[in-house]
Amino acid sequence: MLYAVARISDLLASGRTFSFEFFPPKNEAGWLSLGRAISELEPLAPDFISVTYGAGGGTRTKTADLVSWVRRQTAITPMAHLTCQGHTRADVISMLTDYKAEGIENILALGGDPPKEGYGHAPSDYVYSLDLVEEVREFGDFAIGVAAHPELHPRSPDRSSDRAHLAAKLAAADFAITQFFFDVEHYLAMIDDLEKLGVSKPVLPGLMPIGNLGQVSRMAHMSGAEVPRWVVERMERAGDDLDEAQRIGVDIASELGARLLELGAPGLHIYTPNRSWA
């Protein structure tokens, strides 16, 4: 039996959402452990699960496999990420056709990052995520999300162009999900900027429960997010105790999430390293 799935835009219109993000595992052991994590999290009744996509199409079939698995094996609504990088229009139409046939209702339309040097560069018919949002909209019948960067996208030359492009894509989409951040002021300033530009669609804050300071600092560097000194100091108190580090990381994310909900955030999106502790 297939469970009913929802459009995330409809869920957000009727209340707050609570969601998790996963990436497609690389091997059999990874699939087993992800299956366990999802079955441990399913009783929490998340509103949706989103599945990342390797820019350039590296995980194309794996993303589709995981989205279909969630659709067929759980009662949770899935969302597939899709990137501009490395895709022709024909590729995108073929993926959207497959997703539609599979009963998938939600797409996160992203720019994606250029492939690392030496990995080749497949041609793209899309440059910016707005091009992809427009394609998915024209195809029809999907709720569409986009990425937001509270601390600005690392390739943005300045704040005003970053916010103007964000406002334009969000106006064409249904909702946004943010890159992770630790300071609530970054989120509030972004919402304020968007309102001044006349866009008030829901922006879900992305929370990253830290388990390993080194890994998060590397990811923060790549995404343009700051890891504040107070976060580093709290994490350092765990020393070499990995369980304690995860506990502190969850506390930091929980405090941030509670504050964001108090301030009126439309929900919370939690980045998991494919593990249920997060």
The 8-class DSSP code of residue 78 comes to: E
Chain residue whose CB lies nearest ligand FAD: 111
Cα 167 from Cα 28, distance rounded (Å)? 41
Pairing of strands 106-110, 77-83: parallel
Q: Between 100 and 165, name the residue whose CB sits nearer to ligand FAD.
A: 165
CB-CB contact of 20 with 41 (8 Å): yes
Catalytic residue among 21, 105, 135, 151: 21
Does the annotation count 21 as an active-site position? yes
CB-CB contact of 177 with 206 (8 Å): yes
Binding site for ligand FAD (CB under 6 A): 52-53, 55, 81, 83, 110-113, 128-130, 147, 153, 155-156, 161-162, 165, 169, 177-179, 206
Q: How far is the CB of 163 from ligand FAD (least distance, A)?
A: 8
CB-CB contact of 41 with 69 (8 Å): no
Q: Between 5 and 181, name the residue whose CB sits nearer to ligand FAD.
A: 181
Q: Between 157 and 214, name the residue whose CB sits nearer to ligand FAD.
A: 157
| Tokens 């976060």, located at residue | 231
Q: How far is the CB of 22 from ligand FAD (least distance, A)?
A: 10
Retrieve residue 153's tokens. 């996208």
Q: How far is the CB of 92 from ligand FAD (least distance, A)?
A: 14
Q: Between 153 and 275, name the residue whose CB sits nearer to ligand FAD.
A: 153
Cα 5 from Cα 27, distance rounded (Å)? 28
The catalytic site residues sit at 21
